């Protein structure tokens, strides 16, 4: 059941990433073509910039789910070479748990950043408050936290 939820989140992130990349490409090409006619839509650049940021979080979420994120695995390799597979699995679970705790700390910090921006921010692109764009950070980190939390239980089931 947990694996199905994790797969559903991964599938959602993958399709949302495809859509976001398509929109970013379209808006960027539109902006370039409009410049030939000396037309400038000022809202395109900030929107694309924030979509790139959100796409980064989606890509990170996909990397977490596929277990292809950057990791320093010196101890894991040593344990594998010495054929201590049980200890290797325990070590892997500990690493996932520490990563989850670290990501929770990042979520807390990003939420506080959002609250400060909400209080002191200004209205910007398309008449939206600047905190609406900054909300991308806690949203992206929370999706990563959910995926890491699920991967703890997926590793426990294995």
**Number of domains, the chain:** 1
Residue 80, pLDDT score: 75
Task: Give the model confidence (pLDDT) of 13-56 as tens digits.
Answer: 999 999 999 999 999 999 999 999 999 888 899 999 999 999 99
Tell the burial category of 83 from Cβ atoms under 10 Å away from its Cβ (0-12, 13-18, 19+).
Answer: exposed
Give residue 45's domain range: 2-157
Which residues share a beta bridge with 123? 129
**How far apart, in whole angstroms, are the C-alpha atoms of residue 27 and residue 89?**
46
Name the pLDDT band for 84 (thresholds 50, 70, 90). Answer: confident
What value, to the nearest 5°, has the Cα angle with vertex 153 and ends 149 and 155? 110
More confident residue, 80 or 133: 133
Task: Give the model confidence (pLDDT) of 88-127 as tens digits.
Answer: 777 778 888 888 999 999 999 999 999 999 999 898 878 8
**pLDDT value at 149 more than 80:** yes
Give backbone dihedrals phi and psi of 13, rounded to 5 degrees, phi first.
-65, -40
């Amino acid at each position: 059941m947990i694996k199905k939820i994790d797969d559903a989140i991964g599938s959602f992130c993958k399709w949302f990433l495809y859509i976001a990349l398509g929109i970013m490409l379209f808006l960027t090409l539109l902006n370039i073509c409009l410049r030939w006619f000396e037309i400038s839509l000022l809202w395109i650049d900030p929107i694309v910039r924030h979509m790139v940021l959100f796409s980064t979080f989606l890509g990170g979420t996909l990397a977490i789910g596929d277990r292809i994120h950057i990791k320093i695995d010196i101890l894991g390799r040593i344990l594998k070479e010495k054929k201590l597979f049980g200890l290797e699995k325990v070590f892997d679970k500990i690493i996932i748990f520490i990563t989850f705790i670290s990501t929770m700390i990042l979520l807390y910090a990003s939420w506080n950043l959002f609250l400060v921006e909400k209080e002191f921010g200004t209205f910007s692109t398309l008449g939206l408050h600047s905190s609406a764009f900054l909300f991308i950070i806690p949203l992206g980190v929370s999706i990563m936290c959910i995926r890491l939390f699920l991967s703890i239980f997926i590793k426990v089931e294995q």
